[in-house]
Structure 1
Amino acid sequence: MSSGKSKANLRTTLSNALSLDANFYENALNTAKNRRLARTIVILAAVSNALGSAFILLINRVTLPILLLALLGSGISVVAGYYFWTFTIWQIGQWFKPNHAPYRHLLIPIGFAYAPQVLNFLTLIPLLGRPIQLTLGIWSLLAVIVAVRQGLDIGTPWSALICLVGWPLIQVAVGFLQVFEQELLR
Structure 2
Amino acid sequence: MAQRHSIRWLRQVLLDALTLNRNFYEHSHRYPAAKRYAQGIVALAAVSHGLGSGLILLLYQPSLLQLGLGVLINIASVVAGYYLWTYAIWKLDTYVNPPVPPYRELLIPVGFAYTPQILNLLTVIPLFGRPITLALAGWTLLGAIAAVRAGLNIDLFRATLLAGVGFTLVQVGVGLVQEGVQNWVVS
After superposition, where does 1:92-171 map in structure 2 within 5 Å?
92-171=92-171
Structure 2 partner of 1:173: 173
Q: Which amino acid aligns with 1:18?
A: L
Structure 1 partner of 2:19: 19
- The farther-off stretch of 33-42 and 132-141 is 132-141
1:30: how far off? 4.5
Following the alignment from structure 1 to structure 2, what is the Cα–Cα distance between the partners of residues 28 and 12? 12
1:59: how far off? 3.7
Structure 1 partner of 2:85: 85
Contact between 1:30 and 1:105, CA under 8 Å: does it hold in 2?
no
Following the alignment from structure 1 to structure 2, what is the Cα–Cα distance between the partners of residues 157 and 41? 26
Contact between 1:30 and 1:108, CA under 8 Å: does it hold in 2?
no
Contact between 1:42 and 1:79, CA under 8 Å: does it hold in 2?
yes
Structure 2 partner of 1:45: 45
Size of the aligned set, in residue pairs, is: 186
Q: Which amino acid aligns with 1:182?
A: Q
Contact between 2:26 and 2:151, CA under 8 Å: does it hold in 1?
yes
Q: Aligned to 2:95, what secondary structure does the other structure show?
A: helix
Structure 1 residues 45-97: Cα deviation after superposition (integer angstroms, max 9, x where no partner): 00110111122222432211010111011100110000000000011111233
- Unmatched segments (≥5 aa) in structure 1: none
1:99: how far off? 2.5
Structure 1 residues 132-179: Cα deviation after superposition (integer angstroms, max 9, x where no partner): 222211111111001111111111001101111111111111221232
Structure 1 residues 81-118: Cα deviation after superposition (integer angstroms, max 9, x where no partner): 00000000011111233133110000000000000111
Q: Aligned to 1:28, what secondary structure does the other structure show?
A: helix
Following the alignment from structure 1 to structure 2, what is the Cα–Cα distance between the partners of residues 178 and 55? 12
Q: Structure 1 residues 44, 172: CA separation in 2 closer, same or farther (over 3 Å shift)?
A: same
Following the alignment from structure 1 to structure 2, what is the Cα–Cα distance between the partners of residues 25 and 18? 11
TM-score (normalised: structure 1): 0.93
Q: Which amino acid aligns with 1:169?
A: L
Contact between 1:48 and 1:120, CA under 8 Å: does it hold in 2?
yes
Contact between 2:81 and 2:174, CA under 8 Å: does it hold in 1?
no
Contact between 1:116 and 1:136, CA under 8 Å: does it hold in 2?
yes
Structure 2 partner of 1:72: 72
Q: Aligned to 2:28, what secondary structure does the other structure show?
A: coil
Pairwise CA RMSD: 1.6
- Unmatched segments (≥5 aa) in structure 2: none
Q: Structure 1 residues 71, 4: CA separation in 2 closer, same or farther (over 3 Å shift)?
A: farther
Q: Aligned to 1:27, what secondary structure does the other structure show?
A: helix
